[in-house]
Amino acid sequence: MSIVTSPAPSEQPHDVPRRLSGLSATDIAEVLLPAVAAACLVGVVFVLAGFGPGAWLGFVICWLGVFVLNYGVMTARRHGPLVAKDRLARVWVITGSAVAVGALAWILIYVLVNGWFAAFGHNFPSFWAHDFSKGGVLDVKARVGALHAIVGTLEQVGLATFATTPLAILAAVYLNEMPGRLAVPLRIVVDAMSGMPSVIAGLFIFIIWVVPRKLNGFSGLAAAMAIAIIMMPTVIRTSEEVLRLVPGTLREAALALGSPERRMVIRVVLPTARSGLVTAVILGVARATGETAPVLLTAGGNPRLNLSPFRGPQADLPLQVYSWFGTAGPTSLHETWGGALVLILVVLTLFVLARLLGTGRAAGALTR
């Protein structure tokens, strides 16, 4: 009978990846030295080749390639090939994340810098208190703003969310909790609608709602219908995935205690998944808030403030930004960036508030 003993710490394989909770001076030096060497080498090549400051993107790409090569060779010689593969994978993950976050930050900062002048600078507070009925191509001092577009966006998205949320959650509950004969056709329709171009939803509402009423058919309500069609598949699919994450033991415990399936869904499943359901609704709102073509075909656009979404043409922020962008003039150019900034702020505020409220309510439901 032989006894198998584990190797001593000093006898462990040389190429086992070493996971560190923090970075030591050696780890930092192993990253900085290849980075500096790659920068020097690529810089000398670019100077000898005659490239100017405008070639900074090429410099970064070449530097990244040389750095990864140097870092991989150094790590493989010091720690072995397995550790080198692990470190290189981490480098690529961090690089990809930095590129994605950097591109998003660049867009946000660019819109913030250009939109701040109109929304909070020379035209404040007129930008928030007036519509664009007095705006002219060369009229820089006109008292114009985006109040009509902000009101239209809030009303249209609010009506669409009010109509979409209960229907989408009921459909998700039907698909995940109590599927019947219509589950397969319903899932096929939802999947097909997920890839549908948004302009199709606008054309559909335009044909069945706007055309029969002619000019009286353009309204915020018609735009809300189109937005609801766009939101519906996103909310249904995300809600269904959230409901699948609810542990099956909670359902089994509720049914074992004699609770009917209907009450189990209402009292156990939905409160547990409330935070995720709120996130699903917000994803649907974010998916539909920036749409322009459906609103153009259903609401028509209006430079004047229209407080009633049920009567008369109405504007919203994406449509008004598109209209301003197509008009050459100093006023419209400033308002374009201001409208884009306001649209980002509105979506960001709704997302943060809904996320905080959903998390708090979900935590309260679980502690009862």
pLDDT tens-place string over residues 22-65: 567 787 888 888 889 989 988 888 888 888 777 888 888 899 89
Give me 225's structure tokens.
């219908």
Do 49 and 175 lie in one domain? The reply is no
Are 178 and 63 in the same domain? no
- Closest by alpha carbon to 149, among 113, 118, 122? 118
For residues 352 and 178, the answer to whether their CB atoms sit within 8 Å is no
- Are 163 and 106 within one domain? no
State the average pLDDT over residues 199-213: 91
Number of Cβ within 10 Å of residue 11's Cβ equals 7
Point out which residues pair with 314 in neighbouring strands: 300
- Is the backbone peptide bond immediately before 125 cis, with ω within 30 degrees of 0? yes
Residue of 272, 290, 274 lying closest to 231 (CA atoms): 290
DSSP structure class, residue 314: B
DSSP state for residue 259 in the 8-state scheme: -
pLDDT bucket at 223, cuts 50 / 70 / 90: very high
In a domain, 10, yes or no: no
**Do both 211 and 315 map to the same domain?**
yes
Q: Does residue 58 belong to any structural domain of this protein?
A: yes
CA atoms of 277 and 283, how far apart (whole Å): 10
Do 75 and 163 reside in the same domain of the chain?
A: no
Do 335 and 186 have their domain in common? yes
Tokens of 257: 């205690």
Quick check: is 15 in a domain?
Answer: no
Does 154 reside within a domain? yes
Q: Mean pLDDT, to the nearest integer, of 8-24?
A: 53
pLDDT of residue 330: 59
Task: Give yes or no for a contact between 359 and 282, defined as CB atoms under 8 angstroms apart.
Answer: no
Position 326, amino acid: G
With respect to residue 237, please indicate whether it lies within any of the assigned structural domains.
yes
Q: Which residues of 250-278 are buried (b: 16+ CB within 10 A; e: fewer)?
A: ebeebeeeebeeeebbeebbbbbbbbbbb
281 in Cβ contact with 354 (< 8 Å): yes
Q: What is the pLDDT of residue 248?
A: 87
Q: Pick the range with the lowest mean pLDDT from 34-48, 200-214, 251-265, 326-340.
A: 326-340
Greater confidence (15 vs 117) lies with: 117
The answer to whether residue 110 sits within a structural domain is yes
Q: What is the CA radius of gyration of the chain?
A: 28
Q: Are 280 and 351 in contact (CB under 8 A)?
A: no
Do 276 and 220 fall within a single domain? yes
Give the Cα separation of 228 and 245 in Å (integer): 26
Q: How many domains does the chain have?
A: 2
In this structure, the answer to whether residues 101 and 151 fall within a common structural domain is no
The pLDDT assigned to 224 comes to: 93
The rounded percent of the chain whose pLDDT value lies above 70 is 85
Q: Does residue 171 belong to any structural domain of this protein?
A: yes
Which residues neighbour 303 within 8 Å (Cβ) at sequence distance 6 or greater?
A: 131, 132, 133, 135, 148, 315
Residue whose pair of structure tokens reads 């584990």 in the numeric block: 6
Domain membership of residue 111 (yes or no) is: yes
Give 222's contacts (C-beta < 8 A, 6+ positions apart).
205, 206, 209, 210, 298, 299
List the structure tokens of 302: 């209006």
Domain final residue pick, 95, 115, 135: 115
The pLDDT, as a whole number, for residue 22 is 59
Range of the domain at 347: 147-367
Q: What is the pLDDT of residue 23?
A: 65
Mind listing the pLDDT tens digit for each residue in 79-134? Answer: 888 888 888 888 889 888 998 999 889 988 888 888 887 778 776 777 788 887 77
Query: Residue 161 carries which side chain, given as an amino acid letter?
Result: T
pLDDT digits (tens, 9 = 90+) for 281-337: 888 888 888 888 899 999 988 888 888 889 889 988 888 888 887 765 655 677 788
Q: Is the pLDDT of residue 280 over 60?
A: yes
Q: Given 115, 136, 162, which residue is the final one in a domain?
A: 115
Q: How confident is the model at residue 17 (pLDDT cuts 50, 70, 90)?
A: low
Say what the pLDDT of residue 205 is.
Answer: 93
**Are residue 58 and residue 203 in the same domain, yes or no?**
no
Same domain, 70 and 178: no
CATH number of domain containing 331:
1.10.3720.10
Considering the domain architecture, whether residues 283 and 216 belong to the same structural domain is answered as yes
- Give yes or no: residues 69 and 212 share one domain: no
- Residue 206: pLDDT band (50, 70, 90) is very high
Query: How high does pLDDT run on average in the chain?
Result: 82
